[in-house]
Structure 1
Amino acid sequence: MDLLSAFKSIGFTKQETDIYLTLCEHGELSGYEAAKLSGISRSNTYASLSNLVEKGGAYVIEGQPTKYMATPIKELLQNSKTWFEKNIRFIEENVVYNNKPQQEAYVTIIGYDNIFNKLENMISLTNTHLYFSAEAKIINKFTNTLTKIAEDKKVVILSDEKILIPNIICYKTDVTSSLKLIVDTTTVLTGTLDQCLFSKNLTLVQLIREAMMNEIKLIQYEG
């Protein structure tokens, strides 16, 4: 992620981001000065400054000429957090989701962030037990969540390195870039960090679980 992407995620356009960063770097500026320093046309600069003020990203300093100053970054982020949480609550209270997928549906999940979030959510929502097979560099990204889950739930890990998380059962084995996560023997996620298949199909869950159990038995036999 870069700064442009980060600011975009809190509602800023590229030009608004450029103007905000220009104000941060140079302090109080008129519209003309901001346009000259940022390399953005004067009309677009004034439009971006107006939007920044509306979004809480800048303050207007009255005078001749009118100048603008960037909202301090901590204040801006707190404003964005408050705005985000307010919108989340509004969505939760007003969206009725009836389009539930069938229990045996196969859902393809694409993209690192989407797959990472799905893994995190599945682990967090574990009721009794989970089996997780992946490279150590992937599993270690979920150390905090796995540590919490392992306090009172069964956590079995298969990985290419020993995973140092209290209360888990870890088996060292050869793994590829593929990953498998089974939660409560009811849901499965399998694939890579680029593309995964998620399903509640019990036949698929059982097949992958059986393959993992056979691998564990082989490790125990050879070890």
Structure 2
Amino acid sequence: MKKILYPSSSRGHANHGWLNTHHSFSFANWFNPDQMHFGALRVLNDDEIAGGMGFGTHPHKDMEIVTIPLEGDLEHKDSMGNSGVIKAGDVQVMSAGTGIEHSEFNHNKDEACKLLQIWVFPRKKHVEPRYDQITLDQSKMKNQFSQVVSPNQNDEGVWVHQNTWFHLAELDDGKSIDYKVKGGANNGVYFFLLEGRVNVGDETLNKRDAVGIWDTKSIPVEATEKSKLLAIEIPMENWED
């Protein structure tokens, strides 16, 4: 088993007034050569958008983009004609492929919107752009890993053009579960703790800490207080054409 610990304090931070953001990997004006990506996981931004504010129309290309709202409501519009609002308990995916443009704004004027935006390198470039969103069944996260993203169109959750699986778990104090690697020996798992305190392998994570683990088939997880955990299984090499 190999691992890299990413303490919350190691993340990049920028406060633009309308946007308070933390970057797990190098992004925008924050650059750390030791935190460029974890395998095919390129971006994990932990964003807080002020009421009524947001990102104007901007382009993306050849990236799988997953948005997980944590609090509040996010309004979305894109060049494919999609528009709507996603909220806590939803997951949104965009395959940027040959190119898309979109905007994202806090739907509410009087409260912040908090979200994770995650970028994954695709296994194949220049795909046709696509959009999807779902509402999660929160009960499936209770003391177990609930799949929210996969590489399979007919599987649970949304799907992306990559050999990656995202799972969310809400764990009671003292609960132990194992993460079983799905994608074979080439895949590793990036664990990002949203709330609480957990032991992942022999590492203890506090809120917003992360650890990347690979070269193993199973990873033990134990909550030492009520916790919410995101696990992103991702190819570690040979992931970009």
The answer to whether TM tops 0.5 is no
Q: TM-score, normalised by structure 2?
A: 0.22
Structure 1 or 2: more strand by fraction: 2
Q: TM-score normalized by structure 1?
A: 0.24
